[in-house]
């Protein structure tokens, strides 16, 4: 037989696919299918494949779609979190800045008062 690595890869992939197919949760019913599928002219094989996918997504919490959605939600929450905290940090910096300005003004006024006191 041909010893090309590509062939080997394809063969290995096919094997993996077969093994994966065996692990798929058995489909007991095709509730996911509707008359619409029939109208769309989907073949029995296509319908079966679609039903398998639906079944897998419903029963396996680690299904890729759910995982991607979960990751997206977590990312969105983290982004909102980062925005919220950045705003809080900015707010505290504004208060510090205000205190600094007041302290500088006060020290200036105090010195002016002392100078006036000394003159009088």
Partner 1 sequence: MTSMLKNMRRLLFTDDKTEPLLKLTKRDKPIKRFTERELIQLESQVGAKIFGKLPEGVRRREFFNLDLNTWIWHEEVVDEKGEIKEQTTKYEVQPRGILKIQPNYKYSYLEGAELHNFVLAVKNYYEQVSKRIYNQDPTTGKPI
| Site residues (CB under 8 A) for partner 1, limited to 5-34 | none
- What number of other Cβ atoms are within 10 A of residue 108's Cβ? 10
What is the closest distance, in whole angstroms, from the C-beta atom of residue 61 to partner 1 in the complex? 24
User: Taking a C-beta distance cutoff of 8 angstroms, is the pair 32, 55 a contact?
Assistant: yes
Stretch that binds partner 1, among 25-33, 35-43, 65-73, 83-91 (CB under 8 A): 83-91
Identify the sign of the CA torsion 29, 67, 23, 45. positive
Stretch that binds partner 1, among 1-9, 10-18, 43-51, 74-82 (CB under 8 A): 74-82
| Site residues (CB under 8 A) for partner 1, limited to 91-120 | 92-97, 99-100, 102-104, 106-108, 110-111, 113-114, 116-117, 120
Give the whole-angstrom CA distance, residue 91 versus residue 97: 10
Alpha helices in 5-63 (DSSP H): 5-23, 35-39, 44-59
Residues that bind partner 1 (CB under 8 A): 78-79, 81-83, 85-86, 88-90, 92-97, 99-100, 102-104, 106-108, 110-111, 113-114, 116-117, 120
């Amino acid at each position: 037989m041909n010893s090309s690595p590509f062939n080997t890869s394809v063969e290995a992939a096919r094997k993996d696919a077969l093994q994966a197919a065996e692990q798929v949760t058995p489909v007991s019913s095709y509730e996911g299918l509707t008359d619409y599928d029939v109208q769309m002219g989907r073949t029995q094989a296509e319908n079966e494949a679609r039903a398998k996918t639906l079944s897998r997504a419903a029963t396996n919490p680690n299904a890729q779609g759910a995982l991607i959605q979960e990751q997206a939600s977590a990312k969105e929450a983290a982004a909102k979190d980062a925005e919220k905290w950045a705003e809080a940090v900015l707010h505290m910096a504004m208060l510090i800045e205000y205190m600094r300005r007041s302290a500088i003004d006060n020290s200036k006024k105090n010195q002016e008062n002392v100078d006036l006191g000394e003159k009088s």
